[in-house]
Amino acid sequence: VTKADGGEDRSFRASYEDVGGLDKELQRVREMVELPLKYPEIFRQLGVDAPRGVLLYGPPGTGKTLMARAVASETNATFMHVNGPEIINKFYGESEARIREIFETAQRRAPAIIFIDEIDAIAPRRTDVIGDVEKRVVAQLLALMDGLKNRGQVIVIGATNVPDMVDPALRRPGRFDRELSINPPDRVGRLRILKIHIRSMRVDASVNLEKLSQMTHGFVGADIAILCKEAGMNAVRRLLPQIDFTAGINEADLDKLNITMDDF
Ligand code: ATP
């Protein structure tokens, strides 16, 4: 099942340990999403409405998708990934039906998280010049969210880089009424993210993470992930000529390989 289908997506599991520099934000998401998914009976007993929708907003690559996946994985909830522009464009003419199916599947496989990436594409401000499809899709999405009666068993997480472009009707009580801004990491955050991404890499003592965290001012998590991957590839390229393949690679040779500061 591809993410374009808005189908259940088991392709990627993430844990809270994979999310760096967003401690407070992760804590909030856990309160809003994990608690009601795990303990719906507490909310039912108290007559407290769990959030149906949470809106995460902030620049691309800051970890919005990663956080949503981590909460789903850690709570063993079904994770349904919906991409806003794809629902509108790829399923043109069937967009509303797709959304309905996604909600039905989520309810059938509850507890579930429906993650709607680039939700501004589905639900732009209706006052803006938008087409009929978007209008009908917004109306459908609103109706489906209003219909989520089950306390806390299906939660919709929307993500956007442009919160002001999201239809205000979606941000009313009972819909996406919790909002959380996800900002680019500061130096300490970048250090945490660097540590996460080199976790499985074999780095030399020369690799100075403090220094890298200072040098990467302006980098978001996704940039740091790429930086680490590229350092790894640089090391491969640098080391390949040093290996004597004619003799076959032996353990002793492998043992000498590692990634150095210069590779970053
Ligand atoms: P977009 O708005 O473009 O969808 P996003 O905020 O959803 O961006 P992600 O897709 O979660 O960003 O980030 C892409 C990748 O970057 C993640 O899979 C992860 O490898 C890395 N990454 C981003 N943010 C973080 C973070 N805070 N901690 C660790 N890794 C991160």
Higher pLDDT among residues 22 and 170, named by residue = 22
* Nearest atom, ligand 1, residue 159 CA: 2
Considering the entire predicted model, what is its pTM?
0.87
Higher pLDDT among residues 221 and 239, named by residue = 221
Max CA separation in the chain (angstroms)? 72
What ipTM was predicted for this assembly?
A: 0.96
- pLDDT tens digits, 244-253: 777 777 777 7
- Least Cα distance to 197 among 228, 166, 237, 222 occurs for 228
- pLDDT tens digits, 18-60: 999 999 999 999 999 999 898 888 888 888 888 889 999 999 9
**With a 6 A CB cut-off, is 82 part of the ligand 1 pocket?**
no
Nearest CA, atom 18, ligand 1: 66
- pLDDT tens digits, 48-99: 888 889 999 999 999 999 999 999 999 999 999 999 888 877 766 788 888 8
**With a 6 A CB cut-off, is 118 part of the ligand 1 pocket?**
no
- Least Cα distance to 10 among 100, 72, 97, 60 occurs for 72
**With a 6 A CB cut-off, is 22 part of the ligand 1 pocket?**
yes
pLDDT of residue 4: 41
pLDDT of residue 177: 82
